[in-house]
Amino acid sequence: MTPQDLRKRILSKYKSLKDDLLNYDSFHTAREISMFYDSIITEVFSGINGREDFCVTAGGSYSKLELCPYSDIDIMIIIKDGLSRENTAKNLRDFFYLFWDAGIDIARSVMSVMDATLLMKKDLSTYTSFIDARYICGNKDLFGDFQNRLEKIDAKSIFLVEFMKNLRRRRLINVMADNDIFLLEPDVKEGIGGLRDCSYCEWVCRLNFSGSTSNMISSIIFGKNKFLTGEDEKIDKDVITETLRAIMPNTSLSARDIIDIYNGKKFVLKVRIMMHLLAQKKVDRLTFDIQEDIAGAFYYKDGKFLNKIEYFMHDYYLNAKNIHIVSMLIINLLVKPRVLIRKHNRNNNSGYETNVNLEKNLYLENGLLSLHDKDLFMSDVNNIFNLINTYRLTGYRLETESVNFLKIAGEKYWKFIKNNGFAKDFFVGLLKSKKRVYQTLLIMHETKILSALIPEFEKINSLSTNDVYHIYTIDAHSLNGVYFLENMVNLKIHREFKEIFKDLSGDDILILNFSLLFHDIGKGYSARHEIIGAGIAVKIAKRLGLSNNIRDYIGFLILNHFLLPLTSERRDIHDPATIKSIANTVKDARHLKLLFIVSICDSMAVSKTRFNSWRKMLLTELYDRVLSFLENTEGYLKSDLYYIEEVYKLADGLKGHRGYNFLNGINDLKGFITDYVDKFYSPNKYLTRENPKNIMLHLKLFSKISLKHGFNFVAIPHIKEDYYEIVICGEDKKTIFSDITGVLSFFDFNIMSADINTRKDGRFIDTLFVNHTYKNVGEDVDWHRLRNTFFKVFNGNISLNEMFKKKDKSESLYKKSTPRVFNSVEIYNNISDEFTVIEITALDRKGLLYDLGRIFNGFNIDIFVSKITTQGNKAFDTFYVKNDYGNKIKNPLHIRKIKQTIIREI
């Protein structure tokens, strides 16, 4: 057999696997792949000289008949002791090279029984790979000898410490409830909830039980028996339960748990096999492009407001969650971890109540809350909430059996919990608390108590959105909002907001926790989630007995939960019309304050990088401006003379200072400043947007403009906030915006916002807020080269188009796949009193602003303010513009042509 022949046989086999995977279950397909390679290896091995001196054994997933199409084939060739290494290598060389030349990644592991046994005693990875070693072909006596020695290895004493470290690293043991397990592009093998969790579960069984019992447990849990097979859909729960009781008496493990982990593994294995088949290579990261391909291959369909990818990922996350939770349950039942008991000092600085009486049915074991009498616990629905409340008040963790009994009790009393008065009172009291609200809600969600009490929450359980902006499932994101509120209320983060949080009442905390927990509840029902979500949340609040006033606040906060972030990032917050609009919506300072808090927590809950210093600054400035307007509407809008007087005072003090010598020869300084301001098309907007210090910097830059030096710029680093403020001034021209944004994009700067100030004297002063794609603020940037490039582009000496073509070509190899973005263009004349507002949504890419600038140039559109927002791979760009006559753009045909051109070009 030649490598080409082998390759053809493999490809021929793989052609039928997609249909096989859809017609049968994944265990059947993986077994077919494994047995196919068994036949190939046996056939090739039959031609080896001295084959009676060797034995081929399968390891890893191959040993369990769970091989995926392009996975590494993990084998070990066991040889007789005393064989010549030279002859062994010669005899086996052709065997290995045949597979390698055919593109098959087959392991090269050749050793004697003694060497293999010694290695497995030293290396945990080797031990776990061949813990279920399977005979393929060759000398069967060698394999028998190997198995006998393998069973004598005291793996528990050798590897227990290392193994426990791995379990903790994977969050499978000795951890509190954890919400941070669902990433946007999960690893189906090594990620949390992936196939490796199942492997660890099996390995723990092997470490704790003898061979026959271990095999029985593995058979029960992972479906390697007659009553858990893909061919037989009728799973005998009684048989599973009886077998579990025989192996682990008094365990809380149920047939439902076993079915959950079995179906979870079957689904994730199915996904992994299809990933390999579609990519035609080994791939374990479920990236966006693969998610779309697999959703199509599994015949998921787009719905009314969720697409096929979101339906598929919802199923993936549900199964991954089941794998992780049940694996964790089984492992903790077998290992029984110890936890250090929290020591409370006399002053009780821990934040937990130390004098809580543990009920007669509760006790501490190894620092974990445990149940004495399980039957007594199961006898009353109220015991569920007594246990959860003790967990919250004491700060102790729940023993694994206690967690599982919460789940079992929740299933038993499912129909009664929703309308149970004791449960409702507990939940309302919980949401009024400031301590351990997040952890308590998390344990309720993990055990499905939360869905029993609030059935509407199940609609967003493990539901994902197909974008790179939200990196968590919707339920995880909602709980994260509560987490950040709790940390801010207790001044653990963002202490600069302590004045806002210090006077919050119990009702305020209730409103905020409730709103954050349910602010995205509508995503399980409608595309306009904020509208329907507000209605659902108000109905839930009414069912829980909350007052009309509290319900009104909850409805308001959920309906408007993205009003402040959207406005701060996509509107001109210095435009009085923007401030008036927000003020008219919020009505008063308390509504504004609570909405501001929800906005902060919601933004932080999206991802670890979402609520950066730039967004915080914008949101805080908008809040301060609206609050100022609400508190003193009449005095909010000050005259130009007020601002000019402030600038004059600063300028008068700067006379004679370095860099401000140009002020020395000016006799009428106030008149000079007034004349400078009057040359702007909108003096009041310039004065309200820029503080006196910035205006003096602009005057300084303008003072150095000459015929020889047609432009000037300065980059001001804001290290703490992680952005640069780049101020550029010079002689105005039609292409100035596209030139500036093009050069900055070429040098890998991300443009976050831009204030465009065009003057009547043919000059401009633009301020752009940027950060660098690859460098933190303060790191080396070649400003000299950037300045020279500006100069060459402004003077027409080099072409930005050619620069981008070369750069795009060199960077095309490193582009990462992302979800599709549907481009849109909206043009409004009712948002601003003075400007037409153009909103563009597009796939974010280098040079996008440059291309938009060129389009505006072609339509003689002047840009006055630009707000640039990026959410994952989506760009939301807003432009405040006028036509070349200084008016709004109102001609419907002209507007239509602008929209069509932008859509076509981007």
Q: Which residue has 């060698």 as its token pair? A: 142
Averaged pLDDT, 719-728: 89
CATH classification at residue 84: 3.30.460.10
Averaged pLDDT, 23-38: 93
Q: What is the DSSP string of 441-467?
A: HHHHHHTTHHHHH-GGGGGGTT---SS
458 and 431 in a single domain? The answer is no
In tens, the pLDDT along 743-796 reads 998 999 988 888 888 888 889 999 999 888 888 888 888 999 999 998 888 888
Q: How many CB atoms lie within 10 A of CB 767?
A: 20
188 and 318 in a single domain? The answer is yes
**Assigned domain for 664 exists:** no
Give the domain-ending residue among 335, 366, 384: 335
Q: Minimal CA–CA distance to 374: which of 496, 272, 512, 249?
A: 249
DSSP run (H or E) holding 397: strand 397-398
Give the domain-ending residue among 637, 658, 674: 637
**Assigned domain for 722 exists:** yes
Pairing of strands 874-882, 836-843: antiparallel
Share of the chain above pLDDT 70, in %: 90
Cα gap 482→433, rounded to integer Å = 11
- Does 641 or 359 have the greater pLDDT score? 641
Give the domain-ending residue among 302, 335, 368: 335
149 and 164 in a single domain? The answer is no
- Does 62 or 342 have the greater pLDDT score? 62
Among the residue ranges 228-242, 392-406, 661-675, the one predicted with the least confidence is 228-242
- Does 617 or 108 have the greater pLDDT score? 617
The whole-number pLDDT of residue 209 equals 66
The whole-number pLDDT of residue 697 equals 94
Structure tokens at 664: 């020395």
**626: confidence class by pLDDT, cuts 50, 70, 90:** very high
Give the range with max mean pLDDT: 242-251, 557-566, 808-817. 557-566
The whole-number pLDDT of residue 802 equals 83
543 and 517 in a single domain? The answer is yes
Q: Which residues contact 121 (CB under 8 A, 6 or more apart)?
A: 127, 153, 158
Q: What is the DSSP letter of 672?
A: H
The whole-number pLDDT of residue 343 equals 45
Across all residues in the chain, what is the average pLDDT?
87
Give the range with max mean pLDDT: 333-342, 524-533, 866-875. 524-533
Q: Minimal CA–CA distance to 96: which of 161, 41, 166, 59?
A: 41
The whole-number pLDDT of residue 229 equals 42
CB of 512 within 8 A of CB of 596? no
The whole-number pLDDT of residue 175 equals 58
314 and 413 in a single domain? The answer is no
**Assigned domain for 30 exists:** yes
Averaged pLDDT, 329-340: 72
144 and 214 in a single domain? The answer is no
Read off the amino acid at residue 460. Answer: I
* pLDDT surpasses 60 at 692: yes
Q: What is the DSSP string of 405-429?
A: HHHHHHHHTHHHHTT-HHHHHHHHH
Predicted structure pTM score: 0.85
Q: Minimal CA–CA distance to 74: which of 107, 117, 30?
A: 107
756: three-class secondary structure by DSSP: strand
Read off the amino acid at residue 497. Answer: F
In tens, the pLDDT along 808-823 reads 655 544 455 566 678 8
Cα gap 449→466, rounded to integer Å = 28
138: three-class secondary structure by DSSP: strand
In tens, the pLDDT along 469-486 reads 677 889 999 999 999 999
**Assigned domain for 576 exists:** yes
**344: confidence class by pLDDT, cuts 50, 70, 90:** very low
CATH classification at residue 180: 1.20.120.330
Q: Minimal CA–CA distance to 388: which of 355, 437, 457, 432?
A: 437
524 and 488 in a single domain? The answer is yes
420 and 464 in a single domain? The answer is no
Q: Minimal CA–CA distance to 554: which of 589, 584, 521, 600?
A: 521
In tens, the pLDDT along 857-867 reads 999 998 888 88
The whole-number pLDDT of residue 211 equals 58
Cα gap 149→147, rounded to integer Å = 5
279 and 171 in a single domain? The answer is yes
51 and 111 in a single domain? The answer is yes
As a three-state string, the secondary structure of 603-668 is: HHHHCCCCCCHHHHHHHHHHHHHHHHHHHCHHHHCCCHHHHHHHHHHHHHHHCCCCCCHHHCCCCC
Q: What is the DSSP string of 832-852?
A: -SS-EEEEEEEE--TTHHHHH
Q: What is the DSSP string of 707-720?
A: SS--EEEEEEEETT
**Assigned domain for 756 exists:** yes
* pLDDT surpasses 90 at 553: yes
- Number of domain units in the chain: 5
The whole-number pLDDT of residue 183 equals 64
* pLDDT surpasses 70 at 440: yes
118 and 180 in a single domain? The answer is no
The whole-number pLDDT of residue 348 equals 47
Averaged pLDDT, 160-183: 74
**Assigned domain for 645 exists:** no
Distances (CA, A) of 382 to 387, 423, 428, 691: 9, 7, 15, 60
Cα gap 830→93, rounded to integer Å = 77
The whole-number pLDDT of residue 648 equals 95
289 and 182 in a single domain? The answer is yes
Question: Which residues are registered as beta bridge partners of 198?
Answer: none
Q: Which residues contact 658 (CB under 8 A, 6 or more apart)?
A: none
Which domain range does residue 614 map to?
454-637
The whole-number pLDDT of residue 176 equals 52
Cα gap 865→578, rounded to integer Å = 13
The whole-number pLDDT of residue 303 equals 85
**Assigned domain for 684 exists:** no
Q: Chain-centre distance of CA 304, in angstroms? A: 24
Among the residue ranges 187-201, 552-566, 590-604, the one predicted with the least confidence is 187-201
Spatial strand order of the sheet with 110-112 comes to 110-112, 75-79, 54-58, 134-138
CB of 717 within 8 A of CB of 822? no
**Assigned domain for 107 exists:** yes
* pLDDT surpasses 90 at 145: yes
Averaged pLDDT, 561-586: 92
CATH classification at residue 411: 1.10.110
- Does 87 or 517 have the greater pLDDT score? 517
The whole-number pLDDT of residue 218 equals 62
Cα gap 625→631, rounded to integer Å = 10
Q: What is the DSSP letter of 524?
A: G
